[in-house]
Amino acid sequence: MNRVPADKLRQGLQPVCGRCRQTLKVESRPITITDKNFRAEVERSPLPVLLDLWAPWCGPCRAIAPALEELAVELAGRIRVGKLNVDENPETSARFQVRSIPLLVILREGQEVDRMVGAMEKSAIAQRVQAILG
């Protein structure tokens, strides 16, 4: 397991494997999740995924977006942050029985392990994520 310092990612440096020197794929920005790529990006992810179910017209969704972008950088290599537009992806929205947004779901191997409804402070989101990461 390679450790990637968040400050190096913020500087724009590309991490490499300490053993084989291959470039590591580390998302330091939220990735776009859709009905079509959900299986590949979330269910098959080697890392837990913090999935933001949101809509562009939702004020609270837009309010927490900067915090999620910061968490994507700070937790890069430990968790992936994804964003799923509920208006454009009805299958996945139905799967998670989305009743209100913003909805944050933490998934491990495609299985839901935690759920947070409503706008939350970055520190509260980070605390819940850290509890999952151990």
Question: Is 20 annotated in the active site?
Answer: no
SS3 111: strand
| Catalytic residue chosen out of the listed positions 58, 73, 126, 132 | 58
- Backbone phi and psi for residue 27, each to the nearest 5 degrees, phi listed first: -85, 120
Instruction: Please tell me the distance from the alpha carbon of residue 129 to that of residue 57, in angstroms, as a whole number.
Output: 26
Question: Tell me, what DSSP letter sits at residue 101?
Answer: S
Instruction: Please tell me the distance from the alpha carbon of residue 64 to that of residue 71, in angstroms, as a whole number.
Output: 11
Question: Is 61 annotated in the active site?
Answer: yes
Instruction: Please tell me the distance from the alpha carbon of residue 52 to that of residue 85, in angstroms, as a whole number.
Output: 8
Q: What Å distances lie between residue 50 and 9, 19, 22, 81, CA to CA?
A: 19, 28, 26, 5
| Catalytic residue chosen out of the listed positions 53, 61, 72, 84 | 61
> Active-site positions?
58, 61
